[in-house]
């Protein structure tokens, strides 16, 4: 996925009541202004920020600081292979939105903008940044881990339909009154939580959700499996921190790495677990592991994903191409004198890793800021509702 993935990243403790660290604010602003000389000298700005922190415990980013800070956060995300494009991130300043209705409409706009708008399928990296956390004031949040997810349902016989990873969340929104169709690819509603109000559910309109039916370049039967996936992976459960200021609601996206869909979402045993069925339809020998039936089925499943997205005109990338581009990013950052934090276990693709150039080297895993961190309580969706 061309966005940071933090599915099982441990949450970093943070205190929303704590004032902004002046040192962290100064460090960010100095680097921001060095990288953007057009902003002018930093010292007058630092004097204003120091005074604001002393008086209120926080400060307000300018639009330029917010935009560059978000791009730096992407650049510093150790689990993202697609950081070559960090400068292209489109930043939408949504700090004035307060109501659940406002937030929902802006999230719909995010999905439409990221999906290419009139140029549907031309996926753009986008982040929507809502109000920062302030001491003594509860903050808004979206309980979904991504804006677009498919529901998961338990069967009476102990089986399931849909995405098993979303069963707990699906049960939570059903308790709040949502009723899905009970099918494999039901799009979940957004659960938006604003201070002083109960959680509100919003169904995404069709215009905001671009999906791709999956077919195969050679096997006509593949279409009979009824598989599909959405085009825009918007992470919505991460906290963005810039210069000591925390933004608990800052959904962001890039575009899919094909293997994220074909080798994880559709292949993992605890997700859609499609490899046994694909292998059966391919006529592979599944009686012994040494036949490498899983490997063969995995390759064909990934071919189907890439083929389908490309035929539909929806932007996607393969793991070989993106691995080479990440090496280009490393070289660019080294020339700029900046370290590149990277988590090897996430940078190396989940398919044919040893065939990619990112496999054959070590990386430093540094906690550089600005950055993204798991929001609080993400492992237990809506546990208080």
Per-residue pLDDT, 199? 97
- The pLDDT tens digits of the residues spanning 240-264 come to 999 999 999 999 999 999 999 999 9
* DSSP annotation of 271: T
Instruction: Quote the distance between the C-alpha of residue 337 and its chain's center.
Output: 27
Closest-CA residue to 338 (of 88, 157, 104, 72)? 72
Is 83 among the residues known to form the active site? yes
SS (H, E, C) 15-64: CCCCCCCHHHHHHHHHHHHHHCHHHCCCHHHHHHHHHHHHHHCCCCCCHH
Catalytic hit among 45, 71, 74, 80:
80
Instruction: With residue 112 as reference, give the H or E element that holds it.
Output: helix 100-114
Per-residue pLDDT, 211? 98
Token pair 């002393």 is found at: 54
Strand, helix or coil for residue 213: strand
Per-residue pLDDT, 297? 98
- Strand segments, DSSP code E, in 104-230 are 126-129, 141-142, 152-154, 160-162, 190-193, 200-202, 211-213, 228-230
Closest-CA residue to 279 (of 234, 219, 324, 358)? 219
* DSSP annotation of 101: H
Question: Residue 16 — pLDDT band, cuts 50, 70, 90?
Answer: confident
Residue 172 lies in a domain: no
User: What's the CA gap between 93 and 249, in Å, rounded?
Assistant: 12
Residue 246 lies in a domain: yes
Catalytic hit among 260, 303, 325, 369:
260
Name 247's bridge partners: 240
Residue 35 lies in a domain: yes
- Domain of residue 30, residue span: 22-149+187-341
Per-residue pLDDT, 385? 41
Q: Are 75 and 87 in contact (CB under 8 A)?
A: no
Angular region, 133: left φ>0, alpha ψ -120 to 50, beta rest: beta
User: What's the CA gap between 94 and 130, in Å, rounded?
Assistant: 5
Per-residue pLDDT, 11? 46
Question: Residue 376 — pLDDT band, cuts 50, 70, 90?
Answer: low
Question: Residue 281 — pLDDT band, cuts 50, 70, 90?
Answer: very high
Question: Residue 354 — pLDDT band, cuts 50, 70, 90?
Answer: very high
Q: How many CB atoms lie within 10 A of CB 289?
A: 9
Catalytic hit among 83, 239, 325, 369:
83
User: What's the CA gap between 242 and 246, in Å, rounded?
Assistant: 7
Say whether pLDDT at 379 is over 80: no
Residue 257 lies in a domain: yes
Q: Please give the mean pLDDT across all residues of the chain.
A: 94
Residue 161 lies in a domain: no
Residue 334 burial (C-beta neighbours within 10 Å; 0-12, 13-18, 19+)? exposed
Find the CATH number of the domain harbouring 120.
3.90.340.10
- The pLDDT tens digits of the residues spanning 214-231 come to 999 999 999 999 999 999
Instruction: Quote the distance between the C-alpha of residue 181 and its chain's center.
Output: 26
Instruction: With residue 288 as reference, give the H or E element that holds it.
Output: none
Per-residue pLDDT, 382? 55
pTM: 0.94
**Is 80 assigned a ligand-binding role in the annotation?**
yes
Per-residue pLDDT, 270? 97
Say whether pLDDT at 383 is over 50: no
Strand, helix or coil for residue 152: strand
User: What's the CA gap between 76 and 121, in Å, rounded?
Assistant: 27
Residue 369 lies in a domain: no
Q: How many CB atoms lie within 10 A of CB 62?
A: 12
Closest-CA residue to 144 (of 103, 99, 91, 98)? 103
Q: Tokens representing 364?
A: 């430093």
More confident of the two residues 7 and 363:
363
- The pLDDT tens digits of the residues spanning 291-337 come to 999 999 999 999 999 999 999 999 999 999 999 999 999 999 999 99
Domains: count for the chain: 1
Catalytic hit among 255, 325, 346, 369:
255
Per-residue pLDDT, 384? 42
Strand, helix or coil for residue 76: coil
Q: Tokens representing 197?
A: 């109000």
Residue 368 lies in a domain: no
Say whether pLDDT at 128 is over 60: yes
Strand, helix or coil for residue 113: helix
Is 260 among the residues known to form the active site? yes
Q: Where are the alpha helices (DSSP H) in 115-166?
A: none
Strand pairing report for 252-253 and 234-235:
antiparallel
- The pLDDT tens digits of the residues spanning 68-82 come to 999 999 999 999 999
Residue 56 lies in a domain: yes
Closest-CA residue to 234 (of 118, 141, 107)? 107
């Amino acid at each position: 996925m061309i966005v940071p993935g933090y599915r099982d990243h441990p949450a970093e403790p943070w205190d929303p009541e704590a004032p902004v660290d002046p040192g962290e604010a100064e460090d960010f602003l100095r680097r921001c202004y060095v990288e953007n000389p057009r902003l002018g000298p930093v010292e007058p700005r630092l004097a204003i920020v120091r005074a604001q922190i002393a008086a209120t415990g926080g400060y307000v980013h300018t639009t330029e600081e917010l935009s560059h800070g978000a791009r730096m956060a992407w650049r510093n995300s150790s689990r993202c292979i697609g950081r070559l494009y960090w400068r292209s991130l489109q930043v939408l300043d949504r700090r004035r939105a307060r109501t659940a209705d406002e937030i929902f409409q802006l999230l719909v706009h995010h999905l439409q903008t990221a999906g290419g708008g009139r140029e549907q399928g031309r996926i753009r990296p986008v982040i929507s940044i809502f109000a920062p956390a302030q001491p003594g004031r509860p903050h808004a949040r979206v309980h979904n881990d991504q804006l677009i997810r498919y529901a998961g349902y338990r069967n009476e016989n102990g089986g399931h339909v849909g995405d098993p990873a979303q069963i707990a969340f699906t049960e939570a929104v059903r308790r709040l009154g949502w009723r899905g169709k009970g099918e494999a690819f039901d799009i979940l509603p957004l659960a938006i939580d604003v201070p002083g109000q109960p959680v509100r559910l919003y169904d995404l309109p069709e215009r905001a959700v671009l999906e791709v039916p999956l077919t195969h370049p050679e096997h006509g039967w593949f279409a009979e499996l009824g598989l599909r996936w959405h085009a825009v992976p918007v992470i919505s459960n991460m906290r963005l921190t810039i210069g000591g200021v925390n933004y608990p609601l800052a959904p962001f996206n890039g575009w899919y790495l094909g293997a994220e869909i074909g080798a994880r979402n559709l292949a993992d045993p605890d997700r859609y677990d499609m490899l046994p069925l694909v292998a059966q339809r391919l006529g592979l020998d599944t009686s012994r592991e040494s036949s490498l039936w899983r490997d063969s089925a995995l390759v064909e499943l990934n071919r189907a994903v890439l083929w389908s997205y490309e035929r539909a005109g929806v932007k996607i990338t393969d793991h070989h191409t993106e691995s080479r581009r990440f090496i280009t990013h490393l070289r660019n950052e080294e020339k700029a004198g900046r370290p590149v934090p990277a988590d090897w276990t996430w940078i190396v693709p989940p398919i044919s890793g040893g065939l990619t150039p990112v496999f054959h080297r070590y990386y430093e895993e540094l906690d550089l800021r600005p950055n993204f961190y798991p929001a609080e309580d993400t492992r237990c969706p809506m546990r208080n509702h």
